[in-house]
Amino acid sequence: MRPDPTRSIRISDRETLEWSSTERAQQHPSAQDLERLAHWMDSLFEIPGLRLRVGIDAILGLLPGVGDTASAFASVYLLNAATNFGVSRVTIARMTLNIVVDLVMGAIPIVGDLFDVYWKANRRNVELLRRHLSASPVNERKLRRNDGLFVAGMIALIISILIASITGAYFILGWVFASLARLVSG
């Protein structure tokens, strides 16, 4: 049996940080642990008769304000674990967008709760992680390109929504101020 290999990083002239590979493996969750967490968050319970699965994320989403924020912590935990697995930056960006969409949509009362049943950001992110871990180098490049297209599309969508929001706010405020001016002068 070979001894456990030790790795080290030189911090300064006097200090070196050392750790064994088994210690590092114990500090980070396995892909199976992350899949279990995603299952708990997104698919733990089945709604009888509808064949829909919901998890703790959808239930916490019923608590206004704090529920979606609490759920986001589990999502960020998955995201951090993905960085420890060496997932590409583009895939990390895609995973982050999944979390942002879940958090923003979940903040909308009732609609956000229904959206949580469909979106399942944690399951999506674990699937992206699984895809990364099982990809060959050739497939990894293809996946990065596809993830890059997804991120570019999401950025375009976010910019479009931002422009539409600003334009809508401009027209609504213009209408409110015109109505107030008529009310005051009339």
**CA–centroid distance for 173 within its chain:** 34
Of 4-8, 89-93, 142-146, minimum mean pLDDT range: 4-8
pLDDT score recorded for residue 175: 94
How high is the pLDDT of residue 178? 93
Question: Which residue reads 């990083």 in tokens?
Answer: 9
pLDDT 10s digits, 49-94: 888 888 888 888 788 777 878 888 888 888 888 888 888 888 888 8
pLDDT, tens digit, 9 for 90 and up, residues 109-136 = 888 888 888 888 889 999 988 888 887 7
Contacts of 47 (CB under 8 A, 6+ apart): 53, 54
Whole-angstrom CA distances from 1 to 5, 91, 107 are 12, 37, 54
Q: For residue 106, which of 123, 121, 124 has the smallest C-alpha distance?
A: 121
Helices and strands (H and E) in the chain: how many = 8, 4
Give me the half-sphere count of Cα atoms (radius 13 Å) on the Cβ side of residue 40: 10
Across the range 169-174, mean pLDDT stands at: 90
Looking at residue 55, its pLDDT comes to: 86
